[in-house]
Amino acid sequence: MTDIVGVTSNATDRAVKAVRVDAQTDRYGNSLNFLNGEFICKVSGQDTRGGLCIYDTVRTARGGPPVHIHHEQDEWFYVREGEFVVQIGDQRFHLTTGDSLLAPRKIPHAFANVSETGKLIVAFQPAGSIERLFSEIAALSRLRIPTLEDWQNVSCRNGIDIVAPPLTL
């Protein structure tokens, strides 16, 4: 269940909305499935006027996305369960439960689940068009496994450059 409660801020006299999203529930009631995982939107860019987007992901197989560059967004990772490898530029990090890592914008990066099941919270600041990218990739994934060329096409339309294939483990 998702609750939205409107309140007025005296300081700015603008509408502000509190958004509650229950456990294992997507912000819009429709999680996305791709990259052998489920992507559950917890905070939408629509909730934050484009300032922030947060996904809770459950990965059921090893691997992750191609190496990519966000030109306008920082990406933050928080491991809730399992183990992940994250590469940012030429540095490789091994993250386990409770670890977090920031991937600054304009630096090539990628991550990969290296456990049987991994749970990862990913935040994007500002939100940009990441929700649209995820939605497009999820729609394509219902038809077939997206190729690197598919990732390049969808990502390019959404302000992200794919610069290399997924990490090798």
Annotate 68-96 with three-state secondary structure: EEECCCEEEEEEEECEEEEEECCEEEEEE
| Ordered per-residue pLDDT tens for the chain, 169 residues | 444 444 333 334 334 678 999 998 999 999 999 998 999 999 999 999 999 999 999 999 999 999 999 999 999 999 999 999 999 999 999 999 999 999 999 999 999 999 999 999 999 999 999 999 999 999 999 999 999 999 999 999 999 999 999 999 8
| Amino acid code (one letter) for 29 | G
Residue 55: both structure tokens together: 């996904």
Q: Is 51 helix (H, G, I), strand (E, B) or coil?
A: coil
Q: 23-163 has which fold?
A: Jelly Rolls (2.60.120)
Give me the pLDDT at residue 16, please.
Answer: 66
- Tell me 6's DSSP state: E
* 50 in Cβ contact with 26 (< 8 Å): no
Beta strands 37-43 and 53-59, pairing class: antiparallel
Distance CA 91, CA 139 (A): 32
Q: Give the helix/strand (H/E) hosting 8.
A: strand 2-8
CA distance 1 to 27: 8
The C-alpha atoms of residue 130 and residue 117 are separated, in whole angstroms, by 23
The pLDDT of residue 125 is 97
The two three-digit tokens of residue 34, written as one number: 């791709």
What whole-number distance in Å separates Cα of residue 62 and Cα of residue 154? 22
- Please state the domain extents for the chain: 23-163
pLDDT score at 11: 35
The pLDDT assigned to 169 comes to 84
